[in-house]
């Protein structure tokens, strides 16, 4: 579970941390990805596992489009840019939730049979549900690829440079909007991957994103803004803390542990664990 939080969070970290843009609609991106997975399954009988790359690709296009159509303009604001971003994306989140209710109805849906659903595997006597295990493996792979991508490719460097100083970057011929649109696409693609995996073992309904979004913000902040590795580490910590809290406190209070750990970390280290901003 922690790795999945990590995967959701790392998509957000990319948008939130690396580009310094707040995205309050991240949970709704996840919701959309889960619905896409569901409909691919329902209409074309494509297993979520196969659908994952398709969903990621679709979400890439969606994320980039959202940036170009909406967020690009929010970044132009001269005054209180942070608030404009928060509330533009918050409005977007409400809009998406409304659209989901309209087109998909508020019913709870789930994917009843998939290749991996309901199966467990025994690892040295500990039984693990296969979908979660595969999700964890996919997350690990995606992290590795992303880490390489950010640190080693021209695009990754362009992304970091653009956040640092958009003006200077423009001078050497990099189009800020193109870089950021790609960044949004990539962030959305990662959450698409997470959504496809989660559709295997979670109910799908219009508000599903809300419960994950807050934890994703906390994960990103816990790891520290501007650090992909931080989001990864944050995801694992959040997963572990949640599991531990669930042992001690009633299940309805399991998030309290995560929040408390976040507060503890930032009070001691105001930049999160691995943050650079």
Partner 1 sequence: MDSSFAQRRRRDLIVAACLAVLAALVPLFVKDVYVQNIMVLTLMYAALSQSWNILGGYCGQISLGHALYFGLGAYTTTLLFTKFGVLPWFGMLGGGLISALIAMALGYPCFRLRGHYFVIATIVIAEISYLLFLNWDWAGAALGIDVPVRGDSWATFQFTRSKLPFYYFALVFCCVAWLVTWWLEDSKWGYWWRAVKDNPDAAESLGVVVFNSKMGAAAVSAFLTAIGGAFYAQFVSYIDPESVMSFHFSLLMALPAVLGGIGTLWGPVLGAVILIPLTELTRSFIGGSGRGVDLILYGAVIVLISLARPEGLIGLFSRRRKGVAR
Q: Residues in the site for partner 1, rule: CB under 8 A?
A: 16, 22, 70, 73-74, 76-84, 86-88, 90-102, 105-106, 206, 214, 217-218, 221, 225, 250, 252-253, 255-256, 259-260, 262-263, 266-267, 270-272, 277
The smaller minimum CB distance to partner 1, of residues 136 and 218, is found at: 218
Instruction: Please give the Cα distance from 200 to 111 (Å, whole number).
Output: 6
120: three-class secondary structure by DSSP:
strand
Give CA–CA dist 28/246, Å, rounded.
26
* CA separation for the pair 274, 38 (Å, rounded): 36
Q: Does the CA dihedral 127-133-136-137 come out positive or negative?
A: positive
Tell me the CA end-to-end span of the chain in Å, nearest whole number. Answer: 27
128: left (phi over 0), alpha (psi -120 to 50) or beta: beta
Q: Which is nearer to partner 1, 37 or 85 (CB)?
A: 85
- Cα–Cα dist 212/7, whole Å: 11
User: Smallest distance from the beta carbon of 98 to partner 1, in angstroms?
Assistant: 3
Report in angstroms how near the CB of residue 6 gets to partner 1 at its nearest.
Answer: 17
From the DSSP assignment, how many helices (H) and strands (E) are in the chain? 12, 2
Q: What residues pair up with 126 in beta bridges, in sequence order?
A: 123
Residue closer to partner 1 (CB basis): 58 or 92: 92
Q: Give the residue with the Cβ less far from partner 1, 45 or 79.
A: 79
Q: Please give the helix or strand (H or E) that residue 57 lies within, else none.
A: helix 48-66
Shortest approach of partner 1 to residue 166 CB, angstroms? 17
Nearer to partner 1, 46 or 70 (CB): 70
The minimum distance between CB 105 and partner 1, in angstroms, equals 7
Rounded to the nearest 5 degrees, what angle is found at the Cα of 105, between the Cα atoms of 101 and 110?
Answer: 110
CB of 184 to partner 1, least distance (A): 16
Q: Between 107 and 120, name the residue whose CB sits nearer to partner 1.
A: 107
Of 48 and 224, nearer to partner 1 (C-beta) is: 224
Q: Bridge-partner residues for 123, per DSSP? A: 126
List, in sequence order, every residue forming a beta bridge with 121; answer none if it has no partner: 128
Q: Provide the minimum distance between the beta carbon of 64 and partner 1 in the complex, in angstroms, as a whole number.
A: 18
Q: In the complex, what is the shortest distance from the CB of residue 88 to partner 1, in angstroms, rounded to a whole number? A: 4
């Amino acid at each position: 579970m922690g790795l999945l939080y990590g995967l959701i969070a790392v998509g957000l970290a990319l948008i939130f941390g690396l580009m310094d843009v707040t995205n309050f609609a991240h949970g709704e991106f996840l919701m959309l990805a889960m619905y896409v997975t569901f409909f691919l399954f329902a209409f074309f009988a494509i297993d979520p596992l196969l659908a994952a790359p398709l969903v990621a690709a679709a979400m890439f296009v969606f994320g980039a489009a959202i940036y170009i159509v909406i967020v690009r303009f929010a970044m132009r604001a001269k005054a209180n840019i942070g608030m404009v971003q928060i509330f533009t994306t918050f409005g977007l989140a409400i809009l998406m939730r409304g659209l989901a209710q309209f087109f998909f109805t508020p019913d709870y849906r789930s994917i009843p049979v998939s290749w991996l659903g309901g199966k467990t595997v025994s690892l040295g006597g500990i039984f693990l549900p296969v979908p979660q295990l595969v999700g964890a493996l996919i997350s690990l792979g995606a992290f590795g690829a992303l880490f390489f991508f950010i640190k080693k490719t021209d695009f990754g460097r362009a992304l970091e440079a653009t956040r640092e100083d958009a003006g200077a970057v423009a001078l050497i011929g990099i189009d800020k909007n193109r870089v950021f649109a790609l960044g949004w696409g990539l962030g959305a693609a990662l959450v698409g991957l997470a959504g496809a995996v989660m559709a295997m073992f979670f109910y799908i309904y219009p508000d599903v994103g809300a419960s994950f979004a807050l934890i994703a913000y906390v994960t990103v902040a816990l790891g520290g803004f501007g650090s992909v590795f931080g989001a990864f580490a944050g995801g694992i910590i959040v997963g572990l803390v949640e599991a531990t809290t669930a042992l001690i406190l009633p299940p309805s209070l399991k998030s309290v542990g995560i929040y408390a750990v976040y507060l503890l970390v930032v009070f001691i280290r105001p930049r999160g664990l691995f943050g650079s901003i």
